[in-house]
Structure 1
Amino acid sequence: MTALAGGPGSWSENILQYFLRRNQIAAEDGAEVTWYHAANHKAQLREALSSPALMIEADVLLASDGSGHGQPVMAHPPETSSDNSLQEWLAEVTKSSKGIKLDFKSLAAVAPSMALLKGVEERLQRPVWINADVLPGPNADRRAVEARPFIDTVTSFFPDVTLSLGWTTGWHAEKANEGYSWPMVRQMEHLCRELQQPVSFPVRVALVRQSCPELRWLLEKSDRYSLTVWTGKDDNYSVEDLLYIRDCFDKSKVFYDLLEPQNHEFKQAIGIKVDA
């Protein structure tokens, strides 16, 4: 059975319904949702909060204090420290109406981060996504976060929060890169079939075009599912690849967290105005 999306302001509300309700997008189209990626340090967060972006993505890890009990801070490996703690980050974000996506690279940071998030829950009546790469994926170059403990920890605090569950991936310019295989998407479907909340699957744009049949099969398993297309800074892909992906899927089921200049070129190609 498929659960209905949550009501207005809930963390399981359909993200497009939230931004449509606020007149911040014009259509039920994932390409209309704009993202600010890696808003970790204080300067980046200030820029994100003053930008036109509707969703702010940031990375959380435990700062090492030598005891194994460090506080959650905003940094992306290989960084291990930051000028911004999660507590400080949340204090600033709650002053805005922007949605947030918190990305975890380790299980250790999840429970203390969820406890901090619980403290501001009443002030976060907007999209909240919790992300981790929980399964090994194409050309994987690092270990995945343990899937079941991650999901169980997050949902023990927030049963209806939107989950963003991905695969570890790699991309190499000098060799052929495999895409998302049938065993990979079937493993993900098996993991998510009993969940009740919305789930978005982050997929690496340079690997999606060759994987459209597999990913389309996955999305067809539930109307709670969507894709979030993202890119590594050195990945090689074209606007034509993005247009191909757009033609492969329901427009309301794919979000695009892209870097420049491809983001601007893609939005121009599909007729969506890009704010300066």
Structure 2
Amino acid sequence: MTATAGGPGSWSENILEYFLRNNQITTEDGAQIIWYHAANHKMQVNEALRNSFMWTGTAHMIEADVILPSERSEHGQPIMAHPPEINSDNTLQEWLAEVIKSNKGIKLDFKSLAAVEPSMMLLENVKRYLKRPVWINADVLPGPNGNSRVVDAKPFIDTVTSFFPDVTFSLGWTTGWHPEKVNEGYSWTMVKEMEYICNELNQPVTFPVRAALVRQSCSQLLWLLKQSHRYSLTIWTGKNDSYSIEDLLFIRDHFDKKRVFYDILEPQNHEFKQAIGIKINL
């Protein structure tokens, strides 16, 4: 099934088209998008919303993690934290109140189904202020060396789309990386399972994939992107992963530049941007 990206300001608008239209990037190249990762605590949100910060320049997309402090409580207030952390100085409601003052795109990452519905209700309250890309993320399948709990794909997708049928999904695999052994990549079974989940959706879907596992999965991920023009990749990195700038350049050489985004940590992000000749405006 195919569908076109959403119109200007919709949550399914291609982020390259959005930021190009707003003169924040100069060409349709996913490497031009600057991410601020894990903007959970108030200090991090303030830094992400400032015009610039160390290394990366001005962020286009702000990524943050949403949990319920207690999944046993149906009336719990969603807060901004990444497990194993379970406390935060920031609720989702407070986070949204700050971010809507900016023009930045949003990616919200969910580690459990329990947090999704109360979060969608809060998003619904501010939707009229969010004429920009909004991505909703969860790991819905086990991936290479993955041992974290997955979020059940069908109720996750159904809950989100019941509120926002035009949202952009970010659907990934749980993964692990071990420095002392050979790390397998994304298998054919893994990518075909993901395609089975996504092929009936109408909205754009980006697949977050771990940088250290992409090179050995090139055939599988190229196949996955060929299944629909709605699909893209978001390359991310674990804090202790070992991978080279050459691995990132390999990805750039083999995939469509319009369909790969790079949410990677420093200093590799800065080195990568330098290697491909993208100037960062600090």
TM-score range, shorter chain: over 0.9
Which amino acid in the other structure matches residue 236 of structure 1? S
The equivalent of 2:55 in structure 1 is: none
Whole-angstrom distance in 1 between the partners of 2:82 and 2:206: 21
Contact 2:71/2:114 (8 A) holds in 1: no
Q: Could you tell me which of 199, 206, 218 is aligned with 2:205?
A: 199
With the length of structure 1 as denominator, give the TM-score of the two structures: 0.98
With the length of structure 2 as denominator, give the TM-score of the two structures: 0.96
Q: Could you tell me which of 64, 80, 83 is aligned with 1:77?
A: 83
Contact 2:235/2:262 (8 A) holds in 1: yes
Gaps of at least 5 residues in structure 2 are: 53-57
The equivalent of 1:156 in structure 2 is: 162
Gaps of at least 5 residues in structure 1 are: none
Q: Could you tell me which of 251, 255, 258 is aligned with 2:264?
A: 258
Query: In structure 2, the residue corresponding to 1:227 is in which secondary structure?
Result: strand
The equivalent of 2:24 in structure 1 is: 24
Q: Does 1:165 align with 2:171?
A: yes
Q: Could you tell me which of 128, 138, 146 is aligned with 1:132?
A: 138
Structure number with greater CO (CA < 8 Å, separation at least 6) is 2
Whole-angstrom distance in 1 between the partners of 2:154 and 2:179: 33
- Structure 2 matches for 1:44-63, cutoff 5 A? 44-50=44-50, 51=52, 52-63=58-69
Would the alpha carbon gap of residues 72 and 137 (structure 1) be closer, same or farther in structure 2, given more than 3 Å must change? Answer: same
Would the alpha carbon gap of residues 150 and 274 (structure 1) be closer, same or farther in structure 2, given more than 3 Å must change? Answer: same
Would the alpha carbon gap of residues 274 and 69 (structure 1) be closer, same or farther in structure 2, given more than 3 Å must change? Answer: same
The CA deviation string for residues 88-113 of structure 1, in whole angstroms up to 9 with x for no partner, is: 00000000000000000000000000
Whole-angstrom distance in 2 between the partners of 1:275 and 1:215: 32
Percent pairwise identity:
75
Q: Could you tell me which of 175, 180, 189 is aligned with 1:174?
A: 180
After TM superposition, the runs of 4+ consecutive aligned structure 1 residues lying more than 3 A away are 65-69
Shift of 1:64: 2.6
Which amino acid in the other structure matches residue 227 of structure 1? L
How many matched pairs? 276
Whole-angstrom distance in 2 between the partners of 1:231 and 1:65: 28
